[in-house]
């Protein structure tokens, strides 16, 4: 079944493969072109350097007229990222334009990492440390950079996330509820 | 002290009822008419430069302003609305800036009506649309950022129906060029969306224009237009009475700023304060608020930094109470006394607020009940007309209820005013005026509640009229005193 949004997503995917922007990659999941997984590498010479952060992108049939829902799957410590991984970024809300594509979204999030907007904090601790105690902030960031390598060993070098990995990520939240 | 004139009290005594008896009713009708006219001319004075406009009139006026500016500046009409919107519909300030600016094109670029950096126009009008990837005829604005008609339509519809804005930027991200109304209308074909866009334009016209304000009345849809923006009473065609400056119900004597503080305080604090006041005490050491939900009077403060042990009854330290678990007979103990004194101070502020809040709410509540009174009075008026009184002769009852409602509203806001007032000689005069108005308003209210059934209609009429005239007079005095105080800047507020 092809609809305008699916056609457009195929083009976005093709563009991402033919002309990949530095430090980001993404692909639709095998069974649903409306659900994507992506990886953003922490930009060099920033506290996020060497981090490999996984994200999910959920599109609707209204794409590109409406933005997708983008979330970090990897743990993140950043003034504009909520505890559940949701991102507070203007182009994903009121500044959205249908001319943005997946590559533009991913590169925008990548540059957000080192250019947070402490005025609209989604994580108040991160915002406070960023402004008042940069050293401690960078320490916390380094912790999540190290964590981002954890579930990555078996897939190293393989840019496209596999199903098994998604499963692995899905298991994590289930563990504490089992101990109850 | 002119505000408190003993002569005023003569009102209710003036003229014995016997004298007034027969020929009175006719005279009275005339007297009342004259009074109404006075009332109206007063209102006209205050609303001399205030016009109530329907949305059609607003649209017409907006278009006239646009074409006037278009004729003078020689820019396209679509551009005019965007420019006027940017200058809050202040024609003079727009023109001043326009002519002051050394470079007209730079001025228009800064206003986002001329593209900052236009792409070179492509040779063929048919190509792949960047948004939907279909091969189609593409079009766009002066910046040459192009998309197919279907994508433009979807984009504009989302902006209009979801984002509710009438100032829409070009579809290209980062291009801030604003789209002219004509262009929007050429893409949007669905009638409901076009109607929404028109509504949004008018709304943006009213909201950004300093001399216009929407009537807050439910489903009213009219706006008031004034010649300067200031706090003033506006009476809309729908009978809503509101303040032009803040849009709230007309709130004399309290000013807009204090009213906003008061309303915020009431919505934040009132229920919480009531509950805190009734159910809690403060720890005598760290002042944290504590609710006692059971157990004995030997309290240990849960605050980890405090852990004070004290007696719930006398608020003194627990130590001297020893092992006797309840009978607190140490009321005069000095430590306990200081603790209670400290508590009293912090509670006094709460008590003071609740005093004003409860009276404010009391009058608001009574004001709502006055609507029921209108129905009672209407029935009574019909009954009186059947008993040989003319329509004009029975209008005094409605007028009495009008006066009563006005007084209730004024009284209500006097409590918000009084809450922020510092005690001085002026505030004492104000409180006297307030007390007197309140007392007399209650009497008028009682009158209309209980004495409507009295047999002698002429006496009833006389009494009601005397009462409402006096009450209205008192209200005038109170408001005048408040106004004069504001003009002379003699109110001292504590916030």
Per-residue pLDDT of B75-119, as tens digits, reads 888 889 999 999 999 999 999 999 999 998 899 999 999 888 777
Query: Cβ separation of A8 and B163 shorter than 8 Å?
Result: no
Q: What is the pLDDT of residue B206?
A: 92
C-beta of residue A92 within 8 angstroms of C-beta of residue A105: yes
> What's the pLDDT score for residue A152?
60
B312-329 average pLDDT score: 66
pLDDT grade for B328, boundaries at 50, 70 and 90: low
- Interface probe for B, chosen from A3, A4, A62, A93 (most Cβ of B below 10 Å), is A4
- Which of B131, B163, B174 is closest, CB to CB, to A98? B131
- Note whether A91 contacts B: Cβ–Cβ < 8 A: yes
Position B17 pLDDT exceeds 60: no
* H or E element that contains B286: none
Residue A178 pLDDT grade (very low, low, confident, very high; cuts 50, 70, 90): very low
B335, B317 Cβ separation under 8 angstroms: yes
Catalytic one among B175, B220, B296, B482? B296
Pick A8's closest partner by Cβ from B133, B147, B171.
B133
pLDDT at residue A110, rounded to an integer: 94
Label residue B188 left, alpha or beta by phi (over 0 means left) and psi (-120 to 50 means alpha): beta
Residue A145, pLDDT score: 93
Q: Residue B119 contacts by C-beta under 8 Å, 6 or more apart in sequence?
A: B143, B144, B145
Q: Does A2 touch chain B (CB under 8 A)?
A: no
Q: Taking residues B185-209, what's their average pLDDT? A: 93
DSSP-assigned letters across all residues of B50-88: -EEE-HHHHHHHHHHHHHHHHHHHT--HHHHHHHHHHTT
Q: Quick check: B246 and B260 in contact, CB under 8 A? A: yes
Contact A125, A57 (CB under 8 A): no
pLDDT at A171: 41
Is it the case that residue B208 has pLDDT exceeding 60?
A: yes
Closest CA to B431 of B444, B421, B445: B421
The whole-angstrom separation of Cα B380 and Cα B374 is 10
C-alpha to C-alpha distance for A82 and B138, rounded to whole angstroms: 40
Residue B296 is among the residues annotated as catalytic for this protein? yes
pLDDT at A158: 43
pLDDT at A59: 95
- Asked if B81 contacts B201 with a C-beta cutoff of 8 angstroms, the reply is yes
Q: Which residue has the higher pLDDT, A118 or B66?
A: B66
**Percentage, residues of chain B above pLDDT 70:** 85
Rounded to 5 degrees, φ, ψ at A31 are -100, -5
Mean pLDDT of B420-442: 90
Tell me which chain A residues have a C-beta less than 8 angstroms from the C-beta of B173.
Answer: 91, 95, 97, 99-100, 104
Mean local confidence (pLDDT), B144-160: 92
Report the pLDDT value the prediction gives residue A143, as an integer from 0 to 100: 93
Are the beta carbons of B131 and A98 closer than 8 angstroms? Answer: yes
> Cα-Cα-Cα-Cα dihedral of A115, A120, A124, A128, to 10°?
60
The predicted pLDDT at position A53 comes to 94
The average pLDDT across A118-142 equals: 89
Distance from CA of B104 to the nearest CA of A (A): 29
**Distances from the Cα of B373 to the Cα of A18, B366, B449, angstroms:** 78, 10, 8
Sheet holding A24-28, edge to edge: A24-28, A35-41, A52-58, A69-72
Main-chain phi, psi angles of B144, to 5 degrees: 65, 20
Give the model's pLDDT for residue B42. Answer: 39
- Looking at residue B267, its pLDDT comes to 80
User: Can you spell out the DSSP letters for B371-404?
Assistant: HHHHHHHHHHHHHHHHTT--HHHHHHHHHHHHHH
Residues of A taking part in catalysis:
88
Q: How far apart are the first and last CA of chain B?
A: 28
**At residue B254, does pLDDT exceed 80?**
yes
pLDDT of residue B148 exceeding 80, the answer is yes
**Of B252, B274, B259, the residue nearest B416 (C-alpha):** B259
Interface test with B, best of A12, A98, A105, A107 (most B CBs within 10 A): A98
* Residues B396, B340: Cα–Cα separation, whole Å: 55
| Pairing assessment for the beta strands B223-225 and B212-214 based on DSSP bridges | antiparallel
- Under the banding of pLDDT at 50, 70 and 90, the label for residue B48 is low
Distance CA A165, CA B423 (A): 72
CATH of B126-193, picked from 3.30.70, 3.40.50, 3.30.40, 3.30.420, is 3.30.40
Mean pLDDT score, B255-268: 86
Mean pLDDT of A116-126: 84
For residue B329, the distance in angstroms to the closest alpha carbon of chain A comes to: 50
Tell me the count of A-B CB pairs closer than 8 A: 39
A148-160: average pLDDT? 57
The contacts of residue A158 (CB under 8 Å, 6+ apart) are none
For chain A, the straight-line distance linking the first and the last C-alpha, in angstroms and rounded, comes to: 44
**pLDDT tens figures, B277-297:** 667 787 877 777 788 776 677
B105 near A CB under 8 A: no
**Residue A35: pLDDT above 60?**
yes
Task: Say yes or no for a CB contact (<8 Å) between A99 and B173.
Answer: yes
The structural domains of chain B, with segments of one domain joined by +, span 126-193, 256-487
Evaluate whether ipTM surpasses 0.90: no
The beta strands (E) that lie in B192-283 are given as 212-214, 223-225, 233-235, 241-243, 280-282
DSSP for residue B115: -
Cα-trace Rg, chain B: 33
**Cα separation, A38 vs A20, whole angstroms:** 12
Q: Cβ separation of B155 and A104 shorter than 8 Å? A: no
Q: Looking at residues B254-269, what average pLDDT do you find?
A: 85
Vertex A114: Cα angle to A93 and A58 (nearest 5):
35
Residues in chain B: 495
What mean pLDDT comes out for the span B470-483? Answer: 92
CATH of B256-487, one of 1.10.940.10, 1.20.1420.30, 1.20.120.1750, 3.40.50.1100: 1.20.120.1750
Evaluate if residue B67 carries a pLDDT over 80. yes
CB contact under 8 A, B151 and A98: yes
pTM: 0.68
Question: Comparing B271 with A13, which gets the higher pLDDT?
Answer: A13
Averaged over B351-375, what is the pLDDT? 87
By percentage, how much of chain A surpasses pLDDT 70? 83
Predicted confidence band at B29 (pLDDT cuts at 50, 70, 90)? very low
| pLDDT 10s digits, A38-75 | 999 999 999 999 999 999 999 999 999 999 999 999 99
What average pLDDT score do residues A110-119 get?
88
Residues of A in Cβ contact (< 8 Å) with B158: 65-66
pLDDT tops 60 at residue B133: yes
């Amino acid at each position: 079944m092809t609809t305008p949004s699916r056609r457009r997503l195929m083009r976005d995917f093709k563009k991402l493969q033919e002309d990949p922007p530095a430090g980001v990659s993404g692909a639709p999941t095998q069974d649903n072109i409306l659900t994507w997984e992506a990886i953003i590498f922490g930009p060099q010479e920033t506290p996020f350097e060497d981090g490999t952060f996984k994200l999910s992108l959920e599109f609707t049939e209204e794409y590109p007229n409406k933005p997708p829902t983008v979330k970090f799957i990897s743990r993140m410590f950043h003034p504009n990222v909520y505890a559940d991984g949701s991102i507070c970024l203007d182009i994903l809300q009121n500044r959205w334009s249908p001319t943005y594509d997946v590559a533009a979204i991913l590169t925008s999030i990548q540059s957000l990492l080192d250019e947070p907007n402490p005025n609209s904090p989604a994580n108040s601790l991160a915002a406070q440390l960023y402004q008042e105690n940069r050293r401690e902030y960078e320490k916390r960031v380094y912790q999540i950079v190290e964590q981002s390598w954890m579930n990555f060993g078996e897939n190293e070098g393989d840019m496209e996330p596999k199903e098994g990995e998604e499963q692995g990520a899905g298991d994590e939240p289930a563990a504490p509820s089992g101990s109850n | 002290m002119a505000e408190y004139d003993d002569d005023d009290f003569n009102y209710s005594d003036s003229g014995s009822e016997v004298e007034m008896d027969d020929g009175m009713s006719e005279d009275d009708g005339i007297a009342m008419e004259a009074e109404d006219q006075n009332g109206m001319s007063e209102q006209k004075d205050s609303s001399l430069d205030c016009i109530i406009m329907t949305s059609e009139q607003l649209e017409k006026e907006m278009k006239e302003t646009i074409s006037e500016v278009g004729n003078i500046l020689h820019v396209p009409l679509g551009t005019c609305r965007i420019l006027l919107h940017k200058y809050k519909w202040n024609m003079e300030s727009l023109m001043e800036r326009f002519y002051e600016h050394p470079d007209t094109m730079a001025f228009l670029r800064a206003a986002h009506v001329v593209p900052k950096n236009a792409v070179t126009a492509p040779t063929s009008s048919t190509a792949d649309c960047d948004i939907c990837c279909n091969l189609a005829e593409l079009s766009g604005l002066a910046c040459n950022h192009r998309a197919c008609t279907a994508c433009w339509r979807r984009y504009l519809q989302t902006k209009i129906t979801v984002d509710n804005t009438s100032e829409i930027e070009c579809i290209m991200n980062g291009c801030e060029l604003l789209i002219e109304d004509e262009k929007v209308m050429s893409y949007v074909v669905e009638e409901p969306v076009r109607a929404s866009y028109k509504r949004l334009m008018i709304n943006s016209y009213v909201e950004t224009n300093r001399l216009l304000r929407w009537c807050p009345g439910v489903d009213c849809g009219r706006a008031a237009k004034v010649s300067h923006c200031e706090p003033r009473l506006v009476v809309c065609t729908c009978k809503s009475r509101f303040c032009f400056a803040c849009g709230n119900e007309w709130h004399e004597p309290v000013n807009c700023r204090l009213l906003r503080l008061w309303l915020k305080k009431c919505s934040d604090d009132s229920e919480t304060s009531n509950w805190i006041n009734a159910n809690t005490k403060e720890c005598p050491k760290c002042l944290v608020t504590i609710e006692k939900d059971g157990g004995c009077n030997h309290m240990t403060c849960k605050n980890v930094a405090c852990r004070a042990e004290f007696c719930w009854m006398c608020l003194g330290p627990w130590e001297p109470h020893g092992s006797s678990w309840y009978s607190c007979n140490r009321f005069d103990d000095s430590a306990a006394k200081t603790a209670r004194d400290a508590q009293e101070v912090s509670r006094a502020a709460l008590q003071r607020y609740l005093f004003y809040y409860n009276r404010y709410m009391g009058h608001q509540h009574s004001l709502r009940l006055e609507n029921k009174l209108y129905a009672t009075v209407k029935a009574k008026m019909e009954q009186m007309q059947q008993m040989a009184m003319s329509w004009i002769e029975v209008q005094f009852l409605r007028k009495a209820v009008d006066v009563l409602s006005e007084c209730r509203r004024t009284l209500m806001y006097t409590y918000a005013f009084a809450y922020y007032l510092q005690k001085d000689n002026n505030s004492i005069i104000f409180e006297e005026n307030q007390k007197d108005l309140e007392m007399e308003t209650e009497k008028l209210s009682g009158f209309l509640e209980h004495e409507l059934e009295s047999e002698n209609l002429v006496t009833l009429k006389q009494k009601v009229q005397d009462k409402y005239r006096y009450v209205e007079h008192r209200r005038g005095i109170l408001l005048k005193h408040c106004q004069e105080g504001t003009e002379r800047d003699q109110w001292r507020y504590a916030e």
